Amino acid sequence: MTKRIVVVGAVAAGMSAASQAKRRRSDAQLVVFEKGSDISYGACGMPYNLADAERSIEDLAVLTPQQAIEERGIDLHLRHEVTHIDREARQVVVRNHDSGEDHSEPYDALILATGARPRTLERLPHMDHERSLVLRTLQDGRKLKPLLHKDARRAVILGGGYIGLEMCESLQRRGIQVTIIEKTPQILPGWHTETVARVMEELKDHEIAVHTDETVVGAEQAEDGSLAALVTSSQKIPADLVLTAVGIQPNAELAAAAGLRIGASGAIWVNQYQQTSDEMIWAAGDCCEAYHRILRKNSWLPLGTTANKQGRIAGANASGESLRFRGIVGTAGFKVFDLEVARSGLSLEEARKEGFEPVMVTIRQRSRGHSFPGGAPVYVTLFADGPSGLLLGGEIVGKDGAVLRINTLAAALAAHLNVADLQGMDLVYAPPFAPVWDPLLVAANQLIKKIGK
Amino acid sequence: MTKRIVVVGAVAAGMSAASQAKRRRSDAQLVVFEKGSDISYGACGMPYNLADAERSIEDLAVLTPQQAIEERGIDLHLRHEVTHIDREARQVVVRNHDSGEDHSEPYDALILATGARPRTLERLPHMDHERSLVLRTLQDGRKLKPLLHKDARRAVILGGGYIGLEMCESLQRRGIQVTIIEKTPQILPGWHTETVARVMEELKDHEIAVHTDETVVGAEQAEDGSLAALVTSSQKIPADLVLTAVGIQPNAELAAAAGLRIGASGAIWVNQYQQTSDEMIWAAGDCCEAYHRILRKNSWLPLGTTANKQGRIAGANASGESLRFRGIVGTAGFKVFDLEVARSGLSLEEARKEGFEPVMVTIRQRSRGHSFPGGAPVYVTLFADGPSGLLLGGEIVGKDGAVLRINTLAAALAAHLNVADLQGMDLVYAPPFAPVWDPLLVAANQLIKKIGK
């Protein structure tokens, strides 16, 4: 009998999973239900698309529904939402949003890729205004882009995380004045103060106003119904556009209602084979947790690259393989104007919470050899466990060669190396790319001195 | 009694060793003999300095003799050559090149940092012409730079290694037409054909003539004594400047004459503590071998970054520490016009010689996310041992983000990871810097398919 693999969600992990399963087992029937109208798009590319007036937002699509059906042999159903999982009967209830009707679909294997949704402030006065938007889906981009073409002049971005920071440059390029509001005492919550200081400098150099420690009270509407201002507990900021980027939460309700185990993070629990607590149900992407190699337990750090990896593994395993997800180490990077910013590993706070005794240094070193023009300072913050020397994490920030350097640390963290191992690494030396002592080696040298071994 | 540490050579490793020893043991007497007149300069930066007519060649100095003496407390003697080591008596014979006199100097610990010297073709007719130069020392740069200011128009570079390739751009920037002559069938001997093909394209795009499989017969002198041409076994190439960059050889004669063990490579044998076969004599830098982490034995791959690391370790250990050099993995990188080129690990040939069964892929992937402008293709050649999956080496070439990516592979090689470990790495994803599937991950994916595990 033909194996029937049902996938819930077709945005990132879902489509990876379905494609992988079909590729490995061409005789299987791959049925994908997606409640929205879009599949597989590069959400992380949205800020760069929005910055470019000439480019269609539809460019972000990486695969069309037609390609999924015709080239990949996937039985794809858009605007079909899975509303219930009957684990006993191995079937799901699907609502067709066009006809409004429900029907049941059997499965031999089920893959959940329900993603995450943005936290919103819509409950606050006027925050549901048509010019108060979130930025998550391609559909959100479709709403926002025309506003940038028209009359937007002053925007307030709620949330000083990296999506908010990336949007600063995009909006400013479109001639829009930007203010960031962050409710905690610093932008980039969880990042080290040295990195935050560099980012704040860069924002200041580009005339972005930043207000931290501010709570949003609501928006204010003019008499003609237009958006007039964003109101916080301490001030009123004139604005004709409000973008909310205050984080996301996992779409785990469907799984929870079916009695699947939900992790401490609120996302679906999975083992390293992307299996949920039901052995015939797999999960992948932003809806579920990911094994963290340093913590040696699950964590929830939703990112596109993890979603793609988990999707492939869930798809392969649902089709009969037994691949293991190696796990994340917390790598992330972004660009804010000319500044490159990246991290990998735990934050100091996470490390302390786990019982480590982190010792830290921040160093400054040129990105290139001193004989080569065009370099810039690179700041490396590195920390390790004092008693054992185990590397725990680091941050790199600078205007040249900062982000790509984080992968060396990511590799070291994945291999559970200690700071002496990093110090001894044979990293490339060539004046156009790196000084004799690469910034990472300088950081390791200094950290070893501080740890005293 | 004051400990007396004598260091032979003050260019790269020697100065690192002396500085490190003095820092760790301020009561020790650090006596450094250098046969030339220069110390610590950035030899790798020479091509970039030469490219810039405005810049003094003296800019390459990173430490002056005065600084070494006054700031670092080192008893430095320039133009003093150590000609003999009496291991029994623990003393060296030193010739003062200004007075021409010899005298003996006792040591408690001796560090050899005698470096390497270029192979030359001076024995061939007219190859000792004043416009036929090698490029190794600051003194060589001092001879070459004035020639570039004057009338040089057509240069022949002998040797298609990376120093020769780096010099192409430097000379062309100075308005000089360049031809490369390489005696083996390909430039970059030992590099993979895919990488070589990209480099050849780049040279062609910049109108650099390349002749491989050509043996140099000599130079030709005009009647007025000026340099006229470079002659090979098959042709005569008009040239008013010849640069020889056909490799280097270790200065191991002093050590050999003292009966110290010389490795199979011809360089001084050392253990991972940089100790020679005499426990009171250490060696560091281009004169000695380096422990290779993949081969798990010594190898000779002279590079500035290795020299600096070994120097620090030799200096620390001669002063009483017991630090271990972690070893090299064969990382190197360079730039040829707009192309970035890097490698790490073994070459295919080396791997086969060691009994591995290398399986290889070459992939092409964009350097950045598809939504972000300015990326370029990155070509990754990756190979691993078929039976075990152990990563053995790789090469990366491209016009954007190629060289810095090699460090991730270097880290993986240092940790003896296999290809599945690399595939599972949590590398950074951010459209301005990397696609969802980083080129290294794509290469690992493809290699796993080929290995079949």
Neighbouring residues of A361: CB distance < 8 A, sequence distance ≥ 6: A381, A382, A383, A443, A446, A447, A450
Tell which of B138, B428, B442 to mutate to test the A interface (max A CBs under 10 Å). B428
Q: What is the mean pLDDT of residues B230-241?
A: 96
pLDDT of residue B453: 59
Q: What is the pTM of this model?
A: 0.95
In which residue are the tokens 């929005």 written? A50
Q: What is the mean pLDDT of residues B412-428?
A: 97
Decide if pLDDT at B336 tops 90. Answer: yes
DSSP B161-207: SHHHHHHHHHHHHTT-EEEEE-SSSSSSTTS-HHHHHHHHHHHHHTT
Neighbouring residues of A194: CB distance < 8 A, sequence distance ≥ 6: A362, A379, A381, A395, A397
> Which of A328, A408, A431 shows the shortest C-beta gap to B408?
A408
> Which of A44, A331, A426 shows the shortest C-beta gap to B410?
A426
Assess A146–B contact: CB distance below 8 Å, yes or no. Answer: no
Q: What is the largest CA-CA distance in chain B?
A: 70
* Lowest mean per-residue pLDDT among A163-177, B140-154, B247-261: B140-154
Task: Give me the residues paired with residue B288 across strands.
Answer: B268
Catalytic residues of B: 44
Q: What is the mean pLDDT of residues B355-363?
A: 97
> Helix/strand/coil (H, E, C) string of A151-169?
CCCEEEEECCCHHHHHHHH
d(CA B438, CA A309): 12
Across B9-90, the runs of DSSP E, i.e. the strands, are 29-34, 75-78, 80-86
Closest residue in A to B322 (Cα) is A453
Which tokens hold the place of B124? 């061939």
Considering only residues 35 to 64 of chain A, which have any Cβ-Cβ distance to chain B shorter than 8 Å?
A: 42, 44-46, 48-49, 59-60, 62
Considering only residues 70 to 109 of chain B, which have any Cβ-Cβ distance to chain A shorter than 8 Å?
A: none
- Is A427's CB within 8 Å of B369's CB? no
> Which of B403, B414, B420 shows the shortest C-beta gap to A426?
B414
Show residues of chain A in contact with B59, CB under 8 Å. 371
Q: What is the mean pLDDT of residues B259-273?
A: 98
Which tokens hold the place of A360? 């830290």
Question: What size, in residues, is chain B?
Answer: 453
Query: Average per-residue pLDDT in chain B?
Result: 95
DSSP letter, residue B390: B
CA nearest neighbour of A158 among A132, A185, A139:
A132
d(CA B237, CA B210): 12
Q: What is the mean pLDDT of residues B1-7?
A: 90
Assess A446–B contact: CB distance below 8 Å, yes or no. Answer: no
> Which of B415, B429, B434 shows the shortest C-beta gap to A415?
B415
Tell which of B272, B390, B426 to mutate to test the A interface (max A CBs under 10 Å). B426
Show residues of chain A in contact with B341, CB under 8 Å. none
Give the active site residue among A44, A168, A287, A288: A44
Closest residue in A to B306 (Cα) is A426
Closest residue in B to A339 (Cα) is B432
Q: What is the mean pLDDT of residues B178-205?
A: 96
Neighbouring residues of A211: CB distance < 8 A, sequence distance ≥ 6: A179, A180, A181, A182, A232, A235, A237
Burial of B183: CB neighbours in 10 Å, binned 0-12, 13-18, 19+: middle
Considering only residues 273 to 312 of chain B, which have any Cβ-Cβ distance to chain A shorter than 8 Å?
A: 293, 303-306, 308-309
Question: What size, in residues, is chain A?
Answer: 453
Task: Give me the residues paired with residue A342 across strands.
Answer: A333, A396
A193-205 and A162-173 helices, crossing angle to 10°: 10
Q: Is A330 helix (H, G, I), strand (E, B) or coil?
A: coil
In which residue are the tokens 């020889």 written? B244
A304-318 and A13-24 helices, crossing angle to 10°: 30
- Is A326's CB within 8 Å of B424's CB? yes
d(CA B80, CA B86): 17
Whether B143 and B62 have beta carbons less than 8 Å apart is answered as no
- Is A403's CB within 8 Å of B428's CB? yes
Whether B119 and B15 have beta carbons less than 8 Å apart is answered as no
Considering only residues 331 to 390 of chain A, which have any Cβ-Cβ distance to chain B shorter than 8 Å?
A: 331-335, 340, 342, 344, 369-373
> Which of A49, A331, A430 shows the shortest C-beta gap to B426?
A331
Across A234-283, the runs of DSSP E, i.e. the strands, are 236-238, 241-244, 248-250, 281-283
Q: What is the mean pLDDT of residues B2-18?
A: 94
d(CA B406, CA A408): 9
d(CA A91, CA A97): 19
DSSP letter, residue A59: G
CA nearest neighbour of A209 among A221, A217, A200, A219:
A200
- Is B430's CB within 8 Å of A370's CB? no
d(CA A364, CA A345): 20
- Is B408's CB within 8 Å of A403's CB? no
DSSP letter, residue A422: H
Assess A256–B contact: CB distance below 8 Å, yes or no. Answer: no
Residue A154: other Cβ atoms inside 10 A:
18
Chain pair A-B, CB pairs under 8 angstroms = 221
C-alpha A30: how far from chain center? 27
- Is B433's CB within 8 Å of A344's CB? no
Phi and psi, residue A377, nearest 5°: -65, 140
Closest residue in B to A417 (Cα) is B415
CA distance, residue A326 to nearest chain B CA (Å): 5
pLDDT in tens, B114-130: 999 999 999 999 999 99
Which tokens hold the place of A114? 């329900």
Q: Is A178 helix (H, G, I), strand (E, B) or coil?
A: strand
d(CA B138, CA B215): 28
DSSP B256-318: HHTT--B-TTSSBP--TT-B-SSTTEEE-STTB-EEETTTTEEE----HHHHHHHHHHHHHHH
pLDDT in tens, B19-53: 999 999 999 999 999 999 999 888 888 999 999 99
Task: Give me the residues paired with residue A133 across strands.
Answer: A243
B8-40 burial: b if 16+ Cβ within 10 Å, else e: bbbbbbbbbbbbbbbebbeebbbbbbbbbebbb
CA distance, residue B44 to nearest chain A CA (Å): 7
> Which of A304, A414, A432 shows the shortest C-beta gap to B426?
A414
d(CA B236, CA B218): 10
Residue A291: other Cβ atoms inside 10 A:
20
Tell which of A19, A286, A426, A440 to mutate to test the B interface (max B CBs under 10 Å). A426
Which tokens hold the place of A345? 């590993």
- Is B410's CB within 8 Å of A407's CB? no
- Is A429's CB within 8 Å of B305's CB? yes
C-alpha A280: how far from chain center? 27
pLDDT of residue B1: 65
d(CA A311, CA A431): 40
Show residues of chain B in contact with A405, CB under 8 Å. 404, 407
Show residues of chain B in contact with A306, CB under 8 Å. 426
In which residue are the tokens 């060396």 written? A408
> Which of A44, A370, A412 shows the shortest C-beta gap to B42?
A370
pLDDT of residue A136: 87
Q: Is A46 helix (H, G, I), strand (E, B) or coil?
A: helix
- Is A438's CB within 8 Å of B59's CB? no
Assess A165–B contact: CB distance below 8 Å, yes or no. Answer: no
pLDDT of residue A453: 59
CA distance, residue A355 to nearest chain B CA (Å): 23
> Which of A373, A403, A412 shows the shortest C-beta gap to B430?
A403
Q: Which residues of chain A have pLDDT under 70?
A: 1, 453
Show residues of chain A in contact with B49, CB under 8 Å. 371
Show residues of chain B in contact with A60, CB under 8 Å. 371
Decide if pLDDT at B66 tops 70. Answer: yes
d(CA B256, CA B287): 11
- Is B331's CB within 8 Å of A427's CB? yes
